[in-house]
Amino acid sequence: MSSSERVRAETKDHVLVITMTRHDKRNAIDGEMTKALDAALNALDDDPDLWVGILTGGPDMFCAGTDMAATSGSPTERGGVYGVVGRTRTKPLIAAVEGVAYGGGFEVVMACDVVIAASNARFGLPEVKRGLVATSGALFRAARVLPLNVAKQLLLTGADLSPADAYRLGLVNEVTEPGEALDAALGWAESMTANAPVAVQQSLRVVDALASATDAEGWALTTEARKVIGASDDAKEGVAAFFEKRAPRWTGR
């Protein structure tokens, strides 16, 4: 597979390993990374010899979400935001998480089918701390992959979720030692590719179709929330405070 400056894609038998490589920015997603992720996932979707995908950020971090200075670019036709979170897939995608998966990075994790997390991983939705809301699926997916009140806790406080708690609550499938998430993900991928690919894909298609039956409404409500936030003074203040490295001064307007 070809690679870009933002994403490396490597084939291992029937598995495509997609690695975000913008490590100097904690793999924050800009427009170029969105395009690269979209291209890699399109290849996974389209190549009949690729049966399972793994998405990782490398041994030190997963993804800090949207690059707030550059933005994540336009949603792609097939993948939506980041080229990932709006995608309809029939091939399993495994998230191998080391370090932070914050904001949009956590929303990318929620869009995957299996989650492997190292014990040093951290999940969080800190948007409310910036006067923003999670706009890449978490407003409706968090309550799908976590108990409702835990989803509300994360969305309303911006607090972190540890791998141990994420495993106990059913979000994470396996917790590993630091540096071992990708190896474990490859083990899970091997167990999937040992099965009939058409059977695996049809099983995933049906489960996802049922689970995502209300996604259109979820995206519509997210868009409505985003419009309200975009017109608020608090959103402007939260972003300004982030770049100025100071505490925000909220007005509630």
Q: Which residues are catalytic?
A: 107, 127
Please classify residue 180 by burial: count the beta carbons closer than 10 Å to its beta carbon, then call 0-12 exposed, 13-18 middle and 19+ buried.
Answer: middle
Largest CA distance in the chain: 57
Question: What is the amino acid identity at position 162?
Answer: S
Query: 3-state DSSP helix/strand/coil percent for the chain, to nearest 5?
Result: 45, 15, 40
For residue 113, give Cα distances in angstroms to 128, 185, 188, 211, 252: 26, 12, 11, 12, 37
For residue 60, give the nearest of 10, 19, 94, 104 by alpha carbon. Answer: 19
Cα angle: 163, vertex 124, 235; to 5 degrees: 180
